[in-house]
């Protein structure tokens, strides 16, 4: 893999990841860009003990442009994009409209009981391929391995930034999910705090370890699921299963068999084995109803500085589609109370997905 660092016209960092060592990455960004926005402010909610990012500059971000104006496609002689090169394998760059960044402004008291601090961190965009019409499910195994190399690289680099507490790699796909760009891409958030969902999971893992002679909750969940009826795909190093208490109509968790804290800790063999299993599950999602399934794919990684021994890297993939022409909306119970009601029996969801997985 060749890794090339360059910068866009407004100073943002851009990194090419190439399979070929002779790739030429000397193209320069010639666009006249506005100055970069200052970092968001974080406001503390004392009722939930959570930090909320207030990022007003994101209101002006690009929204669903036509394909010939896509900012994630390579630049051409007549149209300039976020990627100066005329082609690329995988590329990562700092988000132009970030929720978190190192470009700090002034932050004052907002009154009430809410503490305020700067939204220090970093947000990056990762383009999986230069092919605008493709998707992650259609990437070759070699392409997926390069994406994983980039994920691991960014996880390690972002974890080293002062003030970053957790790194989150994810992909949103489909208009129903709320995407703003259709080009195959994901994002990486380097948070200045440990996220609420991770705190909940690690708290549960700590209590489980204390009650079970130090055993790993995640590892025991994986062991139990591997012996049950909800496995949808597996190989020697990874297992994909529908969790027993799935929140979403179609939800799959993908675990490596070896407990590691984050993507950077995966072995070369584990990264290679992930590719064919994961893309087969994505294709199975699309095969369920014969339509492109909207989904969120979220990597759960251990925090940077605390409880890393409890963390267990895994991917959570879920769709809000529950049937042909029907979506799962987060209505009163879910949105207001965080109390989920799932309309699809997890065992039935597993059977349906398994029937579509490539064999």
**Residue numbers of the chain with a pLDDT score lower than 70:** 359
Same domain membership, residue 169 and residue 83? yes
Instruction: Please identify, among 163, 193, 223, the residue that sits at the C-terminal boundary of a domain.
Output: 193
- At residue 57, the pLDDT reads 84
- At residue 24, the pLDDT reads 94
Q: How many structural domains are present in the chain?
A: 2
Which stretches of the chain are assigned E, i.e. beta strand? 2-7, 13-18, 41-45, 50-54, 90-94, 116-118, 122-127, 166-173, 185-191, 231-234, 238-241, 250-256, 295-300, 314-319, 321-323, 326-327
Same domain membership, residue 136 and residue 13? yes
Q: Which residue segment(s) compose the domain that 30 sits in?
A: 2-193
Beta-bridged to residue 169, according to DSSP, are 188
Instruction: Please identify, among 193, 225, 243, the residue that sits at the C-terminal boundary of a domain.
Output: 193
185 included as an active-site residue: yes
- At residue 62, the pLDDT reads 82
Same domain membership, residue 212 and residue 167? no
Same domain membership, residue 256 and residue 142? no
Query: Could you identify the residue written with the tokens 């084995």?
Result: 273
- At residue 359, the pLDDT reads 53
List 57, 183, 185, 212, catalytic entry: 185
Laid out side by side, the sheet with 185-191 consists of: 2-7, 13-18, 90-94, 122-127, 185-191, 166-173, 295-300, 314-319, 250-256, 238-241, 231-234
Same domain membership, residue 150 and residue 115? yes
Within its chain, how far is the Cα of 24 from the centroid?
28
């Amino acid at each position: 893999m060749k890794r090339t660092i360059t910068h866009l016209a407004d100073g943002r960092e851009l990194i090419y990841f190439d399979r070929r060592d002779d790739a030429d990455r000397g193209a320069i960004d010639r666009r006249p860009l506005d100055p970069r926005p200052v970092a968001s402010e974080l406001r503390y909610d004392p009722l939930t003990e959570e930090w909320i990012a207030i990022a007003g500059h994101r209101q002006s971000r690009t929204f669903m442009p036509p394909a010939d104006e896509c900012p994630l496609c390579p630049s051409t002689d007549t149209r300039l994009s976020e990627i100066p090169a005329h082609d690329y394998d995988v590329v990562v760059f700092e988000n132009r409209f970030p929720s978190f960044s190192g470009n700090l402004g002034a932050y004052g008291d907002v009154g009430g009981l809410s503490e305020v601090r700067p939204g220090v961190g970093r947000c990056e965009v990762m383009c999986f391929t230069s092919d605008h019409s493709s998707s992650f499910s259609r990437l070759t195994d070699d392409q997926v391995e390069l994406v994983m190399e980039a994920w691991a690289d960014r996880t390690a680099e972002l974890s080293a930034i002062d003030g970053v507490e957790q790194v989150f790699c994810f992909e949103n796909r489909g208009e129903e999910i709320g995407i703003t760009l259709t080009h195959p891409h994901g994002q990486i958030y380097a948070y200045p705090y440990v996220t609420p969902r991770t705190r909940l999971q690690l708290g549960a893992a700590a209590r489980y370890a204390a009650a079970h002679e130090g055993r790993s909750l995640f590892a025991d969940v994986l062991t139990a699921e591997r012996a049950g009826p909800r496995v949808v795909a597996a190989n020697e190093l990874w297992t994909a299963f529908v969790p027993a208490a799935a929140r979403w109509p179609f939800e799959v968790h993908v675990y490596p068999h070896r407990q590691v804290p984050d993507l950077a800790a995966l072995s070369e063999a584990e990264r290679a084995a992930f590719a064919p299993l994961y893309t087969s599950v994505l294709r199975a999602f699309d095969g369920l109803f014969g339509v492109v399934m909207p989904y969120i794919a979220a990597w759960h990684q251990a925090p940077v500085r605390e409880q890393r021994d409890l963390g267990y890297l895994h991917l959570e993939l879920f769709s809000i589609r529950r049937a042909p022409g029907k979506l799962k909306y987060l209505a009163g119970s879910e949105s207001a109370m965080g109390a989920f009601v799932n309309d699809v029996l997890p065992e039935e969801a597993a059977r349906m997905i398994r029937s579509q997985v490539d064999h």
